[in-house]
Amino acid sequence: MSRQQRDALDAVLRSAPRSETRPTPEQQRSDFSAALTRPAPEDVVTRRTVLGGRPTLELEPAEASAHGLLLYLHGGGYVIGSPDTHAGLVGELARRAGLRAVSVDYRLAPEHPFPAAVDDGLAAYRELLAAGTEPRDLVLAGDSAGGGLSIATLLAAREAGLPQPAAVVVFSPWTDLTLSGASIRSKEEADPIFTEADVRAYADLYAGADDRAHPLVSPVFADLTGLPPLLVQVGANEILLDDAVRLAGRAGADGVEVTLEVGTGLPHVFQHHYGRLDEADAALDRAARFLTSRLGAGHPGADRPEPVPSGLRRSRRASAS
């Protein structure tokens, strides 16, 4: 693992210009797309489709298994981002896992505040099941707001009486829109991307006057009983650190099999920097193994070990049986 790579990334992220006045959502979306978008890997075919009534990007690796499907929900504070901005990240995870993936263009705030994103996530999940996808062949993943949305989608599915998928992976999940985690303030100097004011502005646009402690807004306050095996990856240098740590603790307390990985000196959704940050490639490999090992027996990647490099802190709680 390269300290030089981490330092260089931190410097690049801190060099991004910040406006003295808060940009409009439209400006944020344009800037985010220009700065973040990475194309899908060359050996991953992309197709435009529709799922749950929403535009969806399907990504199929050249060596995708006939069994297994990844449903991905992108990040962006519920205000910005799209399947296109995340095509590289989703394509890399899909390629490493050998899984076909579908990335949903769920509705964004402020035009479509809560619960629109949850409704779209649930509609996509419901349609996959209705189309014949077996729950044991289905896994979920998401980053940042999409990580929180992934958990909220599974909570909504549980309440609707739908079966749970085989596993879920979340990268730097935003799970507490009340901003009560201590790291929101204690990690502000270490975080090269966000300030408390940044995430509060996103929360205002998405949740508005709704109860921000509602389990589908802030899953860290939910009863997570019955959710599938969960992998949480987060950087130590981000204000959302406690969102991830508390989510993992809540899951373990509720009997969910959970693995928490905290990457030393790493920023928000560091996995997006695959190919230029060793820790990002290693994290995506572990995430892929986590997903495939929990799908049907014989799936590529099943039963392979999950090595944990130095610099990562991991905890695991086994679900009650």
* Active-site position among 238, 257, 261, 279: 238
Amino acid code (one letter) for 88: G
CA–CA distance, 79 with 147 (Å, rounded to integer):
14
Q: Give, to the nearest 10 degrees, the angle between helix 278-293 and helix 3-14.
A: 100
* Active-site position among 74, 86, 214, 268: 268
Query: What does the block give as tokens for 198?
Result: 């940044």
Q: How far is CA 301 from CA 57, 65, 219, 233, 291, in A?
A: 24, 11, 30, 19, 9
Can 268 be counted among the known catalytic residues? yes
Query: What does the block give as tokens for 55?
Result: 């535009």
* Active-site position among 103, 144, 172, 218: 144
Contact yes or no for 209/254 (Cβ under 8 A): no
Can 86 be counted among the known catalytic residues? no
Can 321 be counted among the known catalytic residues? no
CA–CA distance, 308 with 56 (Å, rounded to integer):
34
Neighbours of 305 (CB within 10 A): 7
Beta bridge pairs of residue 142 = 73, 170
CA–CA distance, 283 with 153 (Å, rounded to integer):
24
Neighbours of 13 (CB within 10 A): 15
Contact yes or no for 217/210 (Cβ under 8 A): yes
CA–CA distance, 50 with 293 (Å, rounded to integer):
28
Edge-first strand order for the sheet with 54-61 is 44-51, 54-61, 100-104, 69-73, 138-143, 167-171, 230-235, 258-263, 312-317
What is the CA angle 27-180-114, rounded to 5? Answer: 50
Residues shown for the chain: 321
Residues tagged active-site: 144, 238, 268
